[in-house]
């Protein structure tokens, strides 16, 4: 690598990549079991540590974790998940309007069976959302098609005090225990139940049942909030940025930061995404932007499905087809600082998110080696490097401050195992 100061920065975020040791994987985590020579090189040659992406008292999720990684203090700027996705979809929110994330879900025998309705495709989902708009759309409610099972409802009027569960957190639970609650919940629950009457008999769902597929027979409303306001990345760090993702949530955050969204053909936000196309797009984007942010949803989806093997496979493909070509290009051009980190844990045992500190690896000019043999949960814990105030990560990454020995003083503790 050429000896020059950093003038380019790349961050790759395999969503929900981290996990707990699996008996089915010989006591290794999916990350530890996967073939990851490129990430291991980053760990050997760069700094490895832990980052607190989910502040204490905040529910773990990609919304707060990604905002933290990109340098935003969520306690100041976070207004809810749905408003971020609304930004990506071009949905304007007036001061008296709030966005709700709207999943198309499968309900059966009084329980939430599937948070994604069998990962319904966007084409069929669009027909169902249009039917919802025709039946329930008004000056008060508007329904917007997103991607796959992920959509938005906008509500106009006085703010409601509603407490809701992300549906991926409560699969298999009895509906009466997990429906939205609070002083304003009756209106939202009523709309969800009315949707069931419409969607259950819709021709799209009749066809899905005939083909043995799960029926998208109810909407699930959650994650509501008003229009978000935050400084641009240029204002905060003086750098331009580009974002590569198939997920509206991440695209919305990128838009708010002023980053250019680079659409990648074949990027699906699922296990079948085109990893190679994302890697090629990232290398191309490095030439025209100061910072490139690459997000891959696949490991998180495997975690939600409780599939350790699929998680291993997705991580290996991220390494081979995204991390390796970026690392090769960065080493060739010089002056490039590179980070790989997941946003949160999505343990296959839990099938949802957890909020413990996440491992990171940073590499490039000004970054001293931590001496790790490879990249994994246990090696990161044993390194002693801990960034407790997660929103400071971006500033330190841009400035190359991870070599500072003083950064090791706030370690959350060492555990057995690892390679440092």
Sign of CA dihedral 364, 366, 371, 377: negative
Q: How confident is the model at residue 314 (pLDDT cuts 50, 70, 90)?
A: very high
Q: Within this chain, do residues 130 and 258 fall inside the same structural domain, yes or no?
A: no
Expressed as residue numbers, the domain containing 156 is: 85-225
Residue 159: what pLDDT? Answer: 86
Strands 386-387 and 47-51: parallel
> Is the predicted pLDDT of residue 414 greater than 70, yes or no?
no
Q: Within this chain, do residues 270 and 363 fall inside the same structural domain, yes or no?
A: yes
Do 238 and 258 meet the contact criterion of CB atoms below 8 Å apart? no
Q: Within this chain, do residues 343 and 264 fall inside the same structural domain, yes or no?
A: yes
Residue 403: what pLDDT? Answer: 54
Strands 291-296 and 241-244: parallel
Whether 60 is in a domain gets the answer: yes
The strand pairing partners of 151, in sequence order, are 102
Residue 420: what pLDDT? Answer: 40
Q: Within this chain, do residues 220 and 316 fall inside the same structural domain, yes or no?
A: no
Sign of CA dihedral 177, 178, 184, 190: negative
Whether 419 is in a domain gets the answer: no
Q: Within this chain, do residues 236 and 221 fall inside the same structural domain, yes or no?
A: no
**Calpha distance 294→242 (Å, rounded):** 9
Do 8 and 331 meet the contact criterion of CB atoms below 8 Å apart? no
> Is the predicted pLDDT of residue 33 greater than 90, yes or no?
yes
**What's the pLDDT tens digit per position in 118-145?**
999 999 999 999 999 999 999 999 999 9
Across the range 8-14, mean pLDDT stands at: 98
- Please give the share of the chain, as a percent, with pLDDT higher than 90: 89
**What's the pLDDT tens digit per position in 262-280?**
999 999 999 999 999 999 9
- Residue 26 region by backbone torsions, left for phi larger than 0, else alpha for psi between -120 and 50, else beta: left
- Please give the share of the chain, as a percent, with pLDDT higher than 70: 95
DSSP secondary structure letter of residue 320? I
203 Cβ contact partners less than 8 Å away, ≥ 6 residues apart:
none
> Is the predicted pLDDT of residue 2 greater than 50, yes or no?
no
**Calpha distance 219→169 (Å, rounded):** 15
Whether 272 is in a domain gets the answer: yes
Q: Within this chain, do residues 389 and 271 fall inside the same structural domain, yes or no?
A: yes
Do 128 and 145 meet the contact criterion of CB atoms below 8 Å apart? no
> Is the predicted pLDDT of residue 415 greater than 90, yes or no?
no
> Is the predicted pLDDT of residue 419 greater than 50, yes or no?
no
Across the range 84-99, mean pLDDT stands at: 95
Q: Within this chain, do residues 341 and 199 fall inside the same structural domain, yes or no?
A: no
**28 by DSSP, 3-state: which?**
strand
DSSP secondary structure letter of residue 187? H
DSSP secondary structure letter of residue 214? P
Residue 401: what pLDDT? Answer: 83
DSSP secondary structure letter of residue 409? G
- Residue 71 region by backbone torsions, left for phi larger than 0, else alpha for psi between -120 and 50, else beta: left
Whether 416 is in a domain gets the answer: no
**What's the pLDDT tens digit per position in 355-412?**
999 999 999 999 989 889 999 999 999 998 999 999 999 999 999 887 544 444 344 4
Whether 148 is in a domain gets the answer: yes
**Calpha distance 415→248 (Å, rounded):** 37
**Calpha distance 379→416 (Å, rounded):** 9
Residue 371: what pLDDT? Answer: 85
């Amino acid at each position: 690598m050429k000896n020059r100061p950093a003038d380019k920065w790349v961050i790759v975020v395999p969503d929900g990549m981290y996990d707990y040791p699996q008996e089915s994987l010989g006591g290794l985590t999916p990350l530890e079991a996967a073939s990851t020579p490129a990430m291991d090189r980053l760990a050997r040659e760069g700094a490895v540590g832990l980052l607190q992406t989910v502040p204490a008292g905040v529910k773990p999720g990609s919304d707060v974790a990604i905002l933290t990684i990109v340098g935003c203090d969520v306690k100041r700027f976070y207004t809810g998940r749905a408003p971020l996705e609304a930004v990506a979809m071009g949905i304007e929110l007036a001061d008296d309007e709030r966005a709700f994330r709207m999943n198309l879900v499968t309900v059966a025998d009084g329980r939430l069976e599937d948070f994604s309705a069998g990962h319904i495709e966007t084409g069929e989902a669009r027909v169902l959302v249009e039917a919802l708009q025709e039946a329930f759309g008004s000056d008060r409610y508007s329904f917007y098609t997103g991607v796959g099972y992920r959509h938005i409802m906008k509500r106009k009027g006085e703010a409601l005090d509603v407490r809701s569960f992300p549906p991926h957190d409560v699969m298999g639970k009895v509906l009466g225990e997990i429906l939205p609650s609070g002083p304003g919940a009756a209106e939202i629950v009523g709309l969800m139940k009315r949707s069931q009457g419409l969607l259950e008999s819709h021709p799209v769902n009749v066809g899905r049942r005939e083909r043995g597929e799960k029926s998208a027979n109810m909407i699930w409303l959650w994650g509501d909030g008003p229009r978000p306001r935050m400084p641009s990345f240029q204002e905060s760090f003086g750098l331009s940025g580009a974002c590569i993702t198939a997920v509206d949530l991440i695209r919305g955050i990128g838009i708010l930061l002023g980053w250019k969204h680079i659409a990648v053909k074949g990027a699906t936000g699922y296990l079948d995404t085109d990893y190679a196309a994302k890697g090629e797009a990232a290398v191309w984007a490095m030439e025209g932007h100061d910072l490139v942010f690459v997000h891959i949803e696949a490991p998180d989806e495997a975690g939600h499905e409780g599939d350790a093997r699929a998680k291993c496979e997705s991580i290996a493909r991220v390494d081979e087809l995204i991390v390796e070509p970026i690392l090769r290009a960065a080493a060739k051009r010089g002056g490039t600082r590179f980070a790989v980190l997941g946003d949160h844990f999505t343990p296959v045992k839990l099938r949802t998110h957890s909020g413990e500190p996440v491992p990171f690896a940073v590499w490039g000019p000004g970054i001293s080696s931590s001496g790790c043999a490879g990249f994994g949960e246990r090696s990161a814990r044993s390194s002693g490097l801990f960034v407790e105030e997660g929103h400071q990560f971006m500033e330190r990454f841009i400035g190359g401050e991870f070599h500072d020995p003083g950064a090791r003083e706030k370690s959350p503790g060492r555990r057995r195992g690892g390679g440092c």
